[in-house]
Amino acid sequence: MGPVGVLALQGDFREHQQSLERAGAASRQVRKPADLDGISALVIPGGESTTIGRLATLYGLIDPLREVIDGGLPTFGTCAGLIFLAVGTVRDGPPQLGCLDVIVERNAFGRQNDSFEAPLEVEGLEAPFLGVFIRAPQVAKVGPHVEVLATYDGRVVMVRQGNILASAFHPELTDDVRIHDMLLSMLKGD
């Protein structure tokens, strides 16, 4: 099994690599199309969604990313990664991959100074998971094949569609690797 690729254009990619290491998985940074070769899964981190979309376009990653994700590569996007994976945004948004059948609302929980943490009931986890929300989006609309895994205050904050897992919060900013374990279990077909 190859390493987990972590899109390393901008954002908290290093924190995801540390979480994957704690979960027992090797990782490597993805910055150009050739870096996708041989990876067993992909993480698209949080950061600034407009910057990630623009850099992915500049480095020729949009079509190669779509190809591997649509081809079944287990993929996990957090915050800006959720936005980047989505088919659209409520208002004009950055370049998107369109692989995940959701419409997202950017900054749905407020600005940077409105950041917060909250325990979440996540489908498939026995105990609550501490969600770290930083300028977080929410999923405003889900397609028919999208499973809602977690909500906060009635808002959808985590989803799964086939090989794609996405959250509005940042599990990589906690010491809890259970959500990264969910991605790794997708490698085994669970």
* Residue tagged active-site, from 16, 79, 105, 180: 79
Q: Could you give the CA distance from residue 10 to residue 141 in angstroms, rounded to a whole number?
A: 27
Q: Could you give the CA distance from residue 84 to residue 23 in angstroms, rounded to a whole number?
A: 25
* Contact in structure between 144 and 114 (CB atoms under 8 Å): no
Closest to 36 in 3D by CA, of 84, 81, 13, 4: 4
| Residue 180 designated active-site | no
| Residue 170 designated active-site | yes
* Residue tagged active-site, from 15, 105, 170, 180: 170
Q: What's CA 147's distance to the chain center, in Å?
A: 15
Closest to 20 in 3D by CA, of 32, 38, 3: 3
Any idea which residue has 């287990």 for tokens?
74
Q: Could you give the CA distance from residue 107 to residue 162 in angstroms, rounded to a whole number?
A: 26
Listed in sequence order, the DSSP H helices in the chain are: 13-22, 49-58, 62-70, 80-85, 178-187
Instruction: Give counts: helices (H), strands (E), the chain.
Output: 5, 12
| Residue 79 designated active-site | yes
* Residue tagged active-site, from 15, 16, 99, 172: 172
Report, as residue numbers or ranges, the catalytic residues: 79, 170, 172
